[in-house]
Amino acid sequence: MIGTEPIEGGIRMPFVNADPKKLHENAIELIGDQWMLVTAGTRAKSNTMTASWGGLGELFSKPVAYVVLRPQRYTKIFVDENPTLSLTVFPPAYRKTLSYLGVASGRNEDKIAKSGLTLAFSENGTPYFEEAKLVFLCRKLIAQEFRPECFVDRSIIPEIYPNGDFHTLYICEIEWTLVKEA
């Protein structure tokens, strides 16, 4: 990665700050194929889930990430109750861990403890994972539930939402991008 500088104040090494414009990653492959964890909460209680739908871009002259959460996700409660969240991408060795975190629910078990991942907190208290290779520390800008009348391609509704559990879209400012140098 380029555009990096040592991190000060609250973020533990071995991460370094990066300019999100200079990441050598393809956002579609990164999120769609490598997947990510969406993590939110407090030092008292956090939750995480795997996500492969989302994106990276620019909005309001800010670097942003968007994610979509179905209403039944336990993680959604934590995302809704807190102003910030993290998106974390992992090395291939963590694929099974991400699969587990994408099937089990924090409603029923202590997923983070069972995953073996190490929860850490940024200076402003945003949870993320030390094992990640890439961390986006994000602040919510917009939260909006998809409504049926907003779909231009209405064929998506029966295909993706046969049960009417429309995602909520969260568009978030990327406040910090943390990378581990290979």
Ligand X SMILES: Cc1cc2nc3c(=O)[nH]c(=O)nc-3n(C[C@H](O)[C@H](O)[C@H](O)COP(=O)(O)O)c2cc1C
Q: Which residues lie near ligand X (CB under 6 A)? A: 35, 47, 49-53, 68-70, 73-75, 99, 102-107, 111
Closest Cα partner for 129 from 89, 92, 163? 89
Other residues' Cβ atoms within 10 Å of the Cβ of residue 119: 16
Closest Cα partner for 86 from 109, 62, 119? 119
Report the C-alpha gap between 138 and 51 in whole angstroms.
15
Ranked by CB distance to ligand X, the top (closest) residue is: 102
What's the closest the beta carbon of residue 155 comes to ligand X, in angstroms?
Answer: 20
Residue whose CB is less far from ligand X, 100 or 151: 100
As given in the structure block, the two tokens for residue 137 are: 């520390």
What's the closest the beta carbon of residue 53 comes to ligand X, in angstroms?
Answer: 4
What's the closest the beta carbon of residue 66 comes to ligand X, in angstroms?
Answer: 10
What's the closest the beta carbon of residue 37 comes to ligand X, in angstroms?
Answer: 9
Q: Are strands 84-89 and 134-145 parallel, antiparallel or unpaired?
A: antiparallel
C-alpha distance from residue 14 to each of 4, 17, 74, 111, 179 (Å)? 12, 10, 30, 25, 8
Residue 77 falls in which region: left (phi positive, over 0), alpha (psi -120 to 50) or beta: alpha
Residue whose CB is less far from ligand X, 168 or 177: 168
Residue whose CB is less far from ligand X, 20 or 106: 106
Residue whose CB is less far from ligand X, 98 or 179: 98
What's the closest the beta carbon of residue 179 comes to ligand X, in angstroms?
Answer: 22
Residue whose CB is less far from ligand X, 11 or 31: 31
What's the closest the beta carbon of residue 6 comes to ligand X, in angstroms?
Answer: 33
Report the C-alpha gap between 81 and 41 in whole angstroms.
8
Residue whose CB is less far from ligand X, 151 or 161: 161
Report the C-alpha gap between 81 and 167 in whole angstroms.
17
